[in-house]
Structure 1
């Protein structure tokens, strides 16, 4: 894990990381009791080999399939340790609620953050919204979009899928459509392995990939028929970047440990998670 030129060994390394994440979770859970923001219940835990984690695809019959055990050079399909998602504790002391003029969406942001409505992307459905969120210094944080036209998953040729891991997965109540290849909506932070570990936060009800591997992790919720999809996150889709590609606004980490610590202790993610969980959509 010290460099991407060496293969990842699951035995020992992942076990050690699992213990570290359990410590991180325990520490943040203790702090959560004093947090005045929305509380994360026990139902927010990421369950290994569970379709609710967003890591296991639905079979044609609608039943979940169980991913194969990770082997050398691949990541586990759920957060290291598998028993609980880190519970971030928001650090912003004062919050405000953004509501669009038509009152079709609302969400909370730290008082100093900037929320700006911009023109929807070309091809969006009538009544679609696009709202950008920036922090107090004007740095980009996330984009909320509604009325997105349905989009087919990216092509994923045999042998091109990359290992990924769901570090945090928390239920979200927003309008959505179900069916094959979907789960209940979640607020997630997921990492995919390339020359580094690339991470992204967002909302989704789209199954990520089979057997803990994928070419693209999609941050979108399939909306009810005729209403379009909903996206809220730093990027609408995450992939393993090439060396010459721009990574931002997605995140990159040298190790999986650092990605887990970003979720468990990072002030940015703590505030972002509260913002995403506060989303209300009226379609």
Structure 2
């Protein structure tokens, strides 16, 4: 498996965890984008169950079917099996867009809403927002994204980052000098606080454990556009006067790791992201 960063970065990312006081008992919490635990998905669909709520997608905007409760326990990659956060939602459903190009599972009481695609999106592109039962924003799935260049990043501008969770994801993608195999990740970058974000990616984050931004984006097959699924398209070290949400903010690296290892929100989000199926 390819690494997320250039040679030596994994060791430096782990060192950054230690320097930052990240001393949790679960070693999986600081994975440095190495192979992580895979979460098996044994849910089976039951048709004819639609979403509810004011922001629910109508049949013309997408379909949703109910699914069984999430699996529990632990699973692993064989090379480094470790405990994984266990999703707390008891019942799940499946969202599928009308053209059946994408599908994913989400908790039964969460809401999906199709919204207008971004300017420049390819024909047939999909953009779906996910909110929890209280209407709080969770993530956005977008397909058909035109190629985008990373922001310029000089050595002096790059900030230390740490990969807290990284799990393989089987989706179509392109290969290049700055890509890896797709992953579901949670990463934090250090500024005046630690700024975190979850999403899918197959893009190299940075060199030597430093980056200007961490992009939640998968480069799709040639001519099919890129796609993303996460809370923000990219996370960077925000300035004090910038709006951070919906990215996450933590006072310490330890608190960011606890959000991943013990937070029910992340456990449910991770299962949702891992369930993504893409048919480009």
- TM (norm. structure 2) is 0.76
Query: Does residue 121 of structure 2 align to residue 124 of structure 1?
Result: yes
Kept in 2: contact 1:219–1:232 (CA 8 A)? yes
2:272 pairs with one of 259, 268, 275:
275
1:8-27 equivalent positions in 2, closer than 5 A: 14=19, 17-22=22-27
Query: Does residue 228 of structure 2 align to residue 231 of structure 1?
Result: yes
Give the superposition deviation at 1:19.
4.4
Distance 1:144 1:11 in 2: 31
Query: Does residue 279 of structure 2 align to residue 245 of structure 1?
Result: no
Give the superposition deviation at 1:134.
0.2
Greater fraction of residues in helix: 1
SS of aligned partner of 1:138: coil
Could you tell me which runs of 5 or more consecutive residues in structure 1 were left unpaired when the two chains were aligned: 1-9, 46-82
Give the superposition deviation at 1:139.
0.5
Specify whether residues 183 and 146 from structure 1 end up closer, same or farther in structure 2 by C-alpha distance, changes over 3 A only.
same
SS of aligned partner of 2:27: helix
- 1:95 corresponding residue in structure 2: 92
Q: Which consecutive aligned stretches of 4+ in structure 1 deviate over 4 angstroms post-superposition?
A: 10-13, 83-86
Kept in 2: contact 1:154–1:215 (CA 8 A)? yes
SS of aligned partner of 2:77: helix
Distance 2:72 2:112 in 1: 20
- 2:141 corresponding residue in structure 1: 144
Kept in 2: contact 1:174–1:280 (CA 8 A)? yes
Kept in 2: contact 1:44–1:171 (CA 8 A)? no
1:1-283 equivalent positions in 2, closer than 5 A: 14=19, 17-22=22-27, 36-37=70-71, 41-43=75-77, 87-283=84-280
Distance 1:226 1:12 in 2: 39
Could you tell me which runs of 5 or more consecutive residues in structure 2 were left unpaired when the two chains were aligned: 1-14, 31-36, 41-68
Give the superposition deviation at 1:41.
3.7
Kept in 1: contact 2:75–2:81 (CA 8 A)? no
User: RMSD in angstroms over aligned alpha carbons?
Assistant: 2.6
Q: Deviations over 1:111-139 (max 9, x none)?
A: 00000111100100111100000000001
Specify whether residues 84 and 234 from structure 1 end up closer, same or farther in structure 2 by C-alpha distance, changes over 3 A only.
farther
Number of aligned residue pairs: give it: 230
- 1:54 corresponding residue in structure 2: none
Distance 1:96 1:265 in 2: 23
Distance 1:180 1:24 in 2: 27
Q: Deviations over 1:55-98 (max 9, x none)?
A: xxxxxxxxxxxxxxxxxxxxxxxxxxxx7776211000010000
Kept in 1: contact 2:23–2:254 (CA 8 A)? no
